Homo-oligomer: A and B are copies of this chain.
């Protein structure tokens, strides 16, 4: 399948390389189609990999991964012709981390709204599915890295068919059904995004970012 990965950071590179390994064809999107990190990624990932502007990547794709910086996501999507977004699934795994006042980051949007909702409200033509935003990117594409305990990945979104499709893709990443916790509509993105400050403190306390949570009951 033709998939766009918006963003040339570590998350975008990790997701893009995993999708190529799974046989998909990926156009990574950046501000320019000559972005150095993007070109380096393409060179490493062979003929299924290419680079384009955000708009070129979205136009090329049937499904879009949003791996941009959370605080820039809405502006980037607004720079794309709405026709290139029409009826497409957007998998949003970003968090609205605001580093403008230094460390630790605060959230640029939270509590009574979330980035997931903000994207869905601004782009009703997209089917936004929020997932994978509660962990380090190495675990996103390789959940068994930390053993076979049933640590979880949350998923939410307003479109049931889109969520079903994304769950199938997540299973191809290695996620088992009973690791996928469906939190219902996109407003649950408030919960998963607001978990980030706790995630950062756990990371600070344990000095290990390769962790995730399991629900015990």
Contacts from A to B (Cβ < 8 Å): 101, 106-107, 110-112, 146-147, 149, 151, 154, 156, 181-184, 188, 190-192, 194-195, 197-202, 204-206, 208, 210-217
Contact = CB atoms under 8 A, between A and B. Distances in A.
Residue among A106, A191, A211 with max Cβ neighbours from chain B (10 Å): A191
B201 A211 contact: no
Contacts of A190: 197
21 contacts: A101-B112, A111-B111, A147-B216, A154-B198, A154-B201, A181-B205, A181-B206, A183-B202, A183-B204, A191-B197, A192-B198, A192-B201, A194-B194, A210-B217, A211-B216, A211-B217, A212-B215, A212-B216, A213-B213, A213-B214, A213-B215
Taking the full assembly, how many copies of this chain does it contain? 2
A214 B214 contact: yes
Given A107-B111, A206-B217, A212-B217, 15 more contacts: A106-B112, A111-B111, A151-B216, A183-B201, A183-B202, A191-B200, A191-B201, A194-B195, A210-B217, A211-B215, A211-B217, A212-B215, A212-B216, A213-B214, A213-B216
Main secondary structure of the interface of A (DSSP, over half): mixed
Nearest to A101: B112
A29 to B, nearest CB: 29
Contacts of A210: 217
Contact of A146 (B146, B198, B216): B216
Contacts of A211: 215-217
Contacts of A183: 201-202, 204-205
A106 B110 CA distance: 10
Contact of A182 (B200, B205, B214): B205
Interface centre among A112, A154, A208, A214 (most CB of B within 10 A): A214
Contacts of A154: 198, 201
A184 B198 contact: no
